[in-house]
């Protein structure tokens, strides 16, 4: 069976957290909205389909007769089905908990450049974005990253001896934050050696390494993690 | 076994979504930070404990040797352990997906009054809050509530024939939004008859009804759902 992933084409976005799990797990999937030039239109049309379990927003994953929405929920499913997370209840819930915490900072990273409304342009909320960015840089990035760094102090991976989908997501979070806030991240990462170690360890996973150098890995752009120099700082 | 719930005392907050599941499931629990006047200090001290699986923020639930953080993750656990959600994979993931979508609007409802920084006072971000509130009222509340209303068009409960923890959370979401935005909610709810029906159905669940009239149900205050008349509108 081949999964069908649906997500906005042209940006890594939240779909990327799912892609990384599929790629590293070497799980067959179609990235449906990336297959044709009218992918966004086809995604919108697919979203309109009458379903018992409609997704509120992309990404969602179609699998046999399941349609699963919410990034962390898709990963929970893939983790259980394809051994991308521990099987015991303690490890399974823990990995999901970390994933949900990553999801929290992802929302905040987005809202830095869209503090007023996701439906408005950045240019319409630049003043507010500067204020929010200052708090995000000074307070939120260190709080989250020191938390993740602390978890890894006595472990190779977030859940212990083996990588899980949350490690892949944490890798992508760090990449995204470095793209958006290179100056601030240079400062914060210097105090988070475990995160640097984790990032290198994730990069060394063979299928991921292969994926990162493929055309399937889309560059950051006008998505969640955006680089506006005026929002960055030491 | 008695669960230990830890959450900031004095507001319903995110802890309330967990409380409702525990109360309606008639599951024994201690609301630890509500037991003494220094509950907030004891919560902060408990958060500092050295743990393999530290929570990033309250609420968290201690159960035997498990400590589970993230509201939706706690509910996933309680749902599986205490039959507060369907057991089959489709229903289990669906209820969790709805819960995560509720969690998304909860973040937005909070950020209406704190669009710049959660660490600043509302008074320090009133101007930005007015702009964000306009978008939240006009675009976000209808988008989410019409989505939930649509799910319920052909079902008694979100997952079909029986209530699940997500129904309880949706009830609380509606109560919270009505507290914060009474004028706007009067307009939106008039077009969401299924949500009115669901709210009454949840209220009629005997243990919930009992809980709502008890002193354990805390009033809304300076938490997620805040009533600032200047942020409301038709």
| Domain containing residue A186: CATH number | 1.20.1050.10
Q: Is the same domain home to B109 and B65?
A: no
Q: Is B64 exposed, middle or buried (0-12, 13-18, 19+ CB in 10 A)?
A: exposed
Q: Is the same domain home to A95 and A191?
A: yes
pLDDT at B1: 83
Q: Is the same domain home to B163 and B196?
A: yes
Q: Is the same domain home to A197 and A95?
A: yes
Q: Which residues on chain B are in Cβ contact (under 8 Å) with A56? A: 101, 104, 144, 147
Q: Does A104 score more than 90 pLDDT?
A: yes
Report DSSP state, residue A160.
B
Q: Please report whether residue A233 resides in a domain.
A: no
Q: Is the same domain home to B201 and B99?
A: yes
Segment B54-71 shows an average pLDDT of: 96
CB pair distance less than 8 Å for B111 and A111: yes
pLDDT band at A59 (very low <50, low <70, confident <90, very high): very high
Q: Is the same domain home to A65 and A152?
A: no
A82, A106, A126 — which closes off a domain?
A82
pLDDT in tens, B71-119: 999 999 999 999 999 999 999 999 999 999 999 999 999 999 999 999 9
Q: From the list A94, A128, A144, which residue is nearest B116 (CB)?
A: A128
Residue A121 CB neighbour total at 10 angstroms: 11
Q: State the smallest CA–CA distance between residue B215 and chain A in angstroms.
A: 31
Q: Please report whether residue A226 resides in a domain.
A: no
A to B CB pairs, distance under 8 Å: 106
In percent, the amount of chain B with pLDDT more than 70 equals 100
pTM of the model: 0.98
Q: Please report whether residue A214 resides in a domain.
A: no
Q: Is the same domain home to A127 and A194?
A: yes
DSSP sequence for A128-156 = HHHHHHHHIIIIIHHHHHHHHHHHGGG-S
Mutation site, A14, A18, A56, A170, interface B, largest B CB count within 10 A = A56
Q: Please report whether residue A156 resides in a domain.
A: yes
pLDDT at A114: 98
Q: Please report whether residue B27 resides in a domain.
A: yes
B55, B82, B109 — which closes off a domain?
B82
Parent domain of B124: 89-205
How many structural domains is chain A composed of? 2
Q: Is the same domain home to A151 and A99?
A: yes
Q: Is the same domain home to B41 and B102?
A: no
Q: Please report whether residue B217 resides in a domain.
A: no
Q: Is the same domain home to B44 and B70?
A: yes
Q: Is the same domain home to B25 and B42?
A: yes
CB pair distance less than 8 Å for B56 and A94: no
B82, B116, B148 — which closes off a domain?
B82
Q: Is the same domain home to A115 and A190?
A: yes
pLDDT at A80: 97
Q: Please report whether residue B78 resides in a domain.
A: yes
pLDDT in tens, A108-149: 999 999 999 999 999 999 999 999 999 999 999 999 999 999
| ipTM, interface predicted TM-score of the complex | 0.98
Segment A29-53 shows an average pLDDT of: 96
The Cα B96–Cα B78 span in angstroms is: 11
Q: Please report whether residue B200 resides in a domain.
A: yes
Structure tokens at B10: 């004095």
């Amino acid at each position: 069976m081949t999964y069908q992933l649906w997500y906005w084409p042209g940006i890594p976005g939240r779909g990327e957290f799912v892609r990384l799990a599929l790629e590293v797990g070497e799980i067959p999937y179609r990235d449906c909205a990336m297959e044709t030039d009218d992918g966004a239109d086809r995604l919108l049309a697919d979203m309109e389909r009458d379903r018992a379990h409609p997704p509120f927003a992309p990404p969602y994953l179609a699998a046999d007769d399941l349609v699963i929405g919410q990034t962390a929920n898709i990963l929970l499913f893939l983790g259980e089905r394809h051994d991308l997370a521990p099987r015991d209840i303690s490890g399974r819930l823990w990995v999901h908990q970390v994933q949900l915490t990553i999801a929290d900072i992802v929302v905040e990273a987005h809202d830095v450049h869209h503090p007023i409304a996701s439906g408005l342009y950045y240019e319409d909320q630049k003043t507010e974005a500067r204020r929010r960015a200052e708090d995000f840089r000074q307070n939120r990035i260190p709080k989250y990253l020191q938390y993740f760094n602390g978890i890894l102090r006595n472990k190779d991976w977030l859940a212990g001896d083996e990588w899980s989908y949350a490690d892949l997501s944490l890798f992508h979070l760090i990449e995204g934050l470095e793209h958006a806030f290179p100056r601030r991240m240079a400062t914060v990462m210097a105090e988070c050696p475990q995160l640097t170690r984790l990032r290198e360890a994730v990069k060394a996973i063979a299928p991921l390494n292969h994926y990162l150098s493929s055309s399937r890995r889309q560059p950051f752009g006008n998505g969640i993690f955006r680089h506006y120099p005026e929002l960055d700082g030491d």
